[in-house]
Chains A and B, each alone.
Chain A
Amino acid sequence: MQQRSTIAPNSFDALIPETARVTSVRKETVDTFTMDLDRGFRFEPGQFNMLYAFGAGEVPISISGDPADSSRLVHTIRSVGAVTKRLEALRPGDMLGVRGPYGEGWPMAKARGHDIVIVAGGIGLAPLRPVIYHALRHRDDYGNVVLLYGARSPEDMIFESELHRWRGRFDMGVKVIVDRAPSSWRTHVGVVTTLIPKVYFDPIDTIAMVCGPEVMMRFVVREFQNRGLTEDKIYVSMERNMKCAVGLCGHCQFGPEFICADGPVFRYDRVRDIIGIREI
């Protein structure tokens, strides 16, 4: 029998963004900036939006703001190519296109009642900042909250003033490390994995959330496993080319997963078998 499609009446043309205006731009590092928009909507920590720069294109960018504040959208962007450079040139009052939020975020509900260990590399702290905002706002819901942050150099650290503020709190542990630093740098030098043995958490009662370059994430996972954390308690955020963000264009496939819809955050055991394969 011929089957007619039965589309929900609320289907919409998923690829058309809405316009929004930039309300402020803050420089984080030489190539990274944080931009506020005059639109807001509810989102989960770890979700992302597609940002459209007029005439240049559209790119996936994580939401780096406070999930409790739905009056604006905050994104932290590293300017690396055609579209992100165009976004970097925007000034307060300028317009861009935005659609979202997309994807599966960090397991905030599952982490309730447990310790949270966050490991971020470079710009990877951007999608994890909403986790910190959320955990600190609902502080009693979580056990220890620890942030381990690695950057190339002290100048490459994003959210610097917030890092200081978080480090000054009694209810949160923060350690930062850089690959290389001037002699005046008085804390750790090296790779972020070396921080893992230095902090306290209870491996059977911890959820780890990791975002950074793929190789870094693999080494971090290995280090967590050395500390007795099992794969089902470790979450990573994956990145692939993305054109539609709604599971229709095919680009973000990662083995059987569509990173835009099934991720970007994955429980590690779900991607373990594919993450190490070259050019997958």
Chain B
Amino acid sequence: MTEVSISGKVILGLEGLGKIVSNLRREGYSVIAPVFEAGVMKLAEIESADDLPRGVRDQQEKGTYRAEQIEGERDLFKNNVSCFSYKSFLHDPHLCVFKAKKDENGFTIEKPEREEKRFAFFGIRSCDLTAMSKLDDVLLQGDYVDSAYDDRRKPVMNIAVNCTTSADTCFCASMNSGPRARANFDLALTEIIDDERHVFLCEVGSDEGAKLLCGVPFEDAPDEDDRAADVLIVAAAKMQMRSIDTSGIAELLQRVQTSHRFEEIAERCLACANCTMVCPTCFCTNIFDVTDLTGDNAERVRHWDSCFTLSYSQLHGGSVRQSVSARYRQFITHKLGTWHDQFGGIGCVGCGRCIAWCPTGIDITEEMAVFRQLAAP
């Protein structure tokens, strides 16, 4: 590819999107995008921009997710977060840590080969971009680095999309993590549709992003288009019905740790761990041994884990967090409170997934509001 140097924003069309996808694929990237399958928007590899679904509308509410494709609608991105997040691609749900093989001297330990993968996330939203940098804080910035995550994370290309609509579960505006992509992207697109045009305002976020525009037909963006995009993004923020007041939130949660409210929540919580599986920032893992039938080959595997399981806090005398109330407390106080002490900032990006995918409709924004009230002097 030849160098393209761009300053400011440009306007491109559907053909341009197609070219960006093919440029990425030519560079060896798996292009991952939201696709409409079995009634949900899920993340999967696409071969061309034609695979991007048109006119999908999603409805997300407490314990509810519905998506449908509307005949005749042209838009690509007028919907919100996918059911699972991008963490599935970077922080493997299942990973072999090492293999051990018995031999006459004892056993030998072998590091497994791992296929190299380069992901481009096409259509990633601002909340998920922010979540990625939060996972970076956890897995890359400490004394020890999660090298499996690092291998996947380093080559990632992010082709972000600024949201022009919000689901009822979205509250990124109050978490300062959307709906506009502000960091961590290579390109950021805002979809603009009017009677004459279906175009994308494109902001370049990195040199690698600029290179992706090689061969893409584009024009410099006129100020009107920039303003039009702003209006759409601001409108998406204004649509949001939920929010969390984050002022003094860490100290506040510390004060309510022994509140009976946790027991009331526990009456509704099934400890199913759905919330932590769909959350883009939950990072906990369990590590255990699996042996084959001969007993000569052992594999140490790492799976996603959840603070909602009983075994998570197991000690030989029994688990520390026997009650579901203590497990919900661990979830919310970590996510919104102690994350500040550990990694700086808050552990929630307001994507709303935990609200939509909680089978009993437990809503983190609602619970937090109750705790704020309880803590009020």
Question: Interface on A for B, CB 8 Å cutoff?
Answer: 1-5, 7-8, 11-19, 21, 52, 54-58, 80-81, 94-95, 97, 239-241, 243-244, 246-251, 253, 255-256, 258, 261, 273-274, 277-280
Contacts and interface: CB of A to CB of B under 8 A. Distances in A.
A244 B316 contact: no
Contacts of A241: 312-315, 320
B136 interface: yes
Nearest to B321: A279
A271 to B, nearest CB: 13
A7 B184 contact: no
Contacts of B133: 3
B146 A248 contact: yes
Contacts of A16: 97-98, 109, 111
Interface string B100-131: 10100111110100000000000000000000
> Interface residues of B: mostly helix, strand, loop or mixed?
mixed
A52 to B, nearest CB: 8
Contacts of A250: 283-285, 305, 307
A122 B69 CA distance: 65
Interface in B287-336: 287-289, 291, 295, 298, 300, 302, 305, 307, 312-316, 320-323, 326, 330, 334
B150 interface: yes
Interface in B43-86: none
Top 3 A-B pairs, shortest CB-CB distance: A95-B106, A250-B284, A256-B341
Given A250-B305, A251-B284, A251-B312, A17 B109 contact: yes
A211 to B, nearest CB: 15
A247 B143 contact: yes
Interface string B132-153: 0100101110111111101001
A256 B307 CA distance: 14
Contacts of B30: none
A57 B302 CA distance: 12
B342 interface: yes
Given A12-B147, A243-B287, A249-B285, A5 B153 contact: yes
B360 interface: no
Contact of A2 (B209, B300, B322, B323): B209
B27 interface: no
B205 interface: yes
Contact of A80 (B98, B285, B316): B316
Contacts of A248: 138-139, 142, 144, 146, 283, 285
Contacts of A80: 316
Nearest to B334: A253
B168 to A, nearest CB: 30
Contacts of B298: 54-55
B286 interface: yes
B147 A5 contact: no
A11 B149 CA distance: 12
Nearest to B296: A55
Nearest to A96: B106
Contacts of B312: 241, 251
A55 B100 contact: yes
A95 B101 CA distance: 12
A256 B342 contact: yes
Contacts of B88: none
A2 B146 contact: no
A15 B316 contact: no
A235 to B, nearest CB: 20
Contact of A261 (B142, B183, B285): B142
Interface string B251-283: 000100110000000000000000000000001
A270 to B, nearest CB: 11
A5 B136 contact: yes
Given A57-B289, A279-B320, A14 B206 contact: no
B326 A249 contact: no
A36 B185 CA distance: 52
B186 A2 contact: yes
Contact of B206 (A1, A12, A243): A1
A246 B287 contact: no
Contacts of B208: 2
A246 B288 CA distance: 16
